[in-house]
Amino acid sequence: MRILEYSRGRILIDGDPVYLDQLEPMNSFPANLYYRIIEHLDSSNEPYRDRAGVFLKTPKLETTFKLRDYQVDALKFWTKANCRGIVVLPTGSGKTVLAVKAIEEQKCSTLVVVPTIVLVEQWRQVLQQAFNTPVGALGGGQEDIEPITVSTYDSARLRAHKLGNIFKLIIFDEVHHLTAPSNRRIAERYLAPKRLGLTATLQKAEAPLLILEELVGPTVYELGVTDLAGSHLADFTVKTIRLPLSGAEQYEYNRQYDIYRDYLKSRKIKIRSPRDYLNFVKRSGRDPEARRALTARNAAMDIALNSSSKIAYLKQLLKSNPSEKTLIFTSHNKLVYTLSKELLVPAITHQTPQEEREEILSRFHSGDYKRVLTSRVLDEGVDVPDASMAVILSGSGSNRQFVQRLGRILRPSPGKEALLFELVSAGTAEVYMSHRRKQR
């Protein structure tokens, strides 16, 4: 009779080796293949003893949370897929509630893995409130294990060898983080047969999507912001405003961008993908000319992203919408602070102390502050109070970032129509970036 054991992120089989898809039968597998080994052994009717999964016992789990129709569908599809898969729902559409219901239905020990320490606290509060039971936390100095535990990606990875076999269900919040090579190890080392991935944006073109499918499961349900706008999310309008650079800015932009372009041309380098760009950046470490070209490109983009006409337009926008709760997004911290000093608007960046950040968000929530400036820290991972208007002064070409930022203004309220202004410098590479971030 075979005996299954869990040891430091692997399933060890004492007895005859098992053949899954490999070239040869094996006695040791990554822990994430636990469910397949069990399926295989069950279907072959061969006797075995499972000492690998030592799942924690859960208290009675009941909640009064109610699901919306699309959440019911999402949960149904996930359950049908053997409780393995990814649910894609826009920001503000209730992914956390869906996870709570999944835990309630499965009634098993659960590890929720989240990207930041702030989110550990947010999830913990929601779960404690939902089930009225203590919820463990890992990360930020906390090491408290309960049948339902919330952990950061980092802590889950570091403790995988100890905790890998005590949770039956693992929920990955912002599951796209799992594609990072170091984070993949979490999914590989935990044997949890039931897995739920949650995200607002899953890029179709991403190569690691296949890996995600193997580690968590296929995408079982997907809705975009447009699917829910007007019903469960507020109606919204995205206005892309193309603004010309001033004469001096345009001259300097062209001068700098030409240095970059001429270098690429002279070395016959073509930038067709992020990898090509990365190779160019690497080259700049050893080639002074490449370094010059890189800094020239950065200087050109600085001009395009932070142009004076954008600032002027922003002032106009704020003047004409004085009562709208507005989030202003930029790419650069420097611009955040310049604008904060000029417009006397509170700012949140990675440098903002946690206490001050919480105070600003709480005052924004209560309406004491009508406007908040931020760089990229509020794109995801922080529960941002609802706003009705957002202005993207500058951003990357990432569709994920665009969708996350849009999601910040979509919490519904009667008669609300959210406005997202995207300010783009005409005649610059930013036009292409703007086009790219709105493509899926």
Partner 1 sequence: MNLPFDHIRMFRRSGVIKPAFIREPLGILDTLIAVFKDHVDKKRGPLNETLSDCEHLGYDFRMVRGIASVLEARSVFQSRSSMSPLEARRQVFTEAASRVVASKDERLAVLEAVAARNGVSVAELDDSLYADLDDEQYLVSFRDIASEELMKQYNYANMIALLAYSLRLEIYYRGSDDYLEHQINRLGKATISGKGRIKAVIELKSTRRLSQRASKIDEIMRRVIQKEGWSLRANIKYPQRYKTVCVFDINNKDGGDLISVDEEENETIIEIGLTKKKEPKYGDIVVLDDVARLKGVITAQIKKEIKEEGTRYRDLGGVLVTPEKHGEIKDGLAKLDTLGEAQRFLKEHGVSDFLAVLEAYGYQVEWLRPRGNSKIYRL
What type of residue sits at position 252? E
Nearest approach in angstroms of CB 429 to partner 1 is 21
Beta bridge partners, 60, equal none
Q: Considering only residues 42-101, where is the footprint of partner 1 by CB under 8 A?
A: none
**Distances from the Cα of 272 to the Cαs of 167, 275, 305, in angstroms?**
43, 8, 21
Q: Report, in Å, the least distance between residue 343 CB and partner 1.
A: 5
CA atoms of 242 and 286, how far apart (whole Å): 37
Query: Taking contact as CB under 8 A, which single stretch among the options 201-209, 229-237, 315-323, 406-414 is the one that binds partner 1?
Result: 315-323
| Residue from 342, 362, 432, 436 in contact with partner 1 (CB under 8 A) | 342
**By CB under 8 A, which span of 55-63, 84-92, 152-160, 226-234 interacts with partner 1?**
152-160
> Which of the ranges 5-13, 288-296, 401-409, 430-438 carries the binding residues for partner 1, by CB under 8 A?
288-296
Task: Out of 94, 346, 395, 407, name the contact with partner 1 by CB under 8 A.
Answer: 346
Kind and range of the H or E element at 374? strand 371-374
- Burial 125-142, CB ≥16 within 10 A → b, else e: ebbeebbeeebbbbbeeb
Task: Name, in order, each residue with C-beta under 8 angstroms of 301's C-beta and a sequence gap of 6 or more.
Answer: 429, 430
Q: Crossing angle for the helix pair 399-407 and 430-437, nearest 10 degrees? A: 70
Complex with partner 1: residue 115 or 407, whichever CB lies closer: 115
Q: Which amino acid is at 146?
A: E
Residue 290 as a binder of partner 1 (CB under 8 A): the answer is no
Establish if 143 lies at the interface with partner 1 (CB under 8 A). Answer: yes
Residue (268 or 319) nearer to partner 1, CB: 319
Choice from 337, 397, 429, 438 touching partner 1 (CB under 8 A): 337
- Interaction between residue 370 and partner 1 (CB under 8 A): yes
Distance CA 412, CA 229 (A): 9
Q: Amino acid identity of 313?
A: Y
Return the closest-CA partner of residue 157 out of 124, 181, 125, 126: 181
Assigned token pair, 196: 């739920």
Q: Is 184 in the site for partner 1 (CB under 8 A)?
A: no
Task: Note whether 9 binds partner 1 by CB under 8 A.
Answer: no
Smaller CB separation from partner 1, 271 or 299: 299
Total residues binding partner 1 (CB under 8 A): 36
Residues written for the chain: 440
Amino acid identity for residue 204 in this structure = K
140 contributes a contact to partner 1 by CB under 8 A: yes
Footprint on this chain of partner 1 (rule: CB under 8 A)? 138-141, 143, 154-155, 158-159, 288, 291-292, 295, 315-316, 318-319, 322, 334, 337, 340-346, 350-351, 353, 356, 359, 363, 368-370
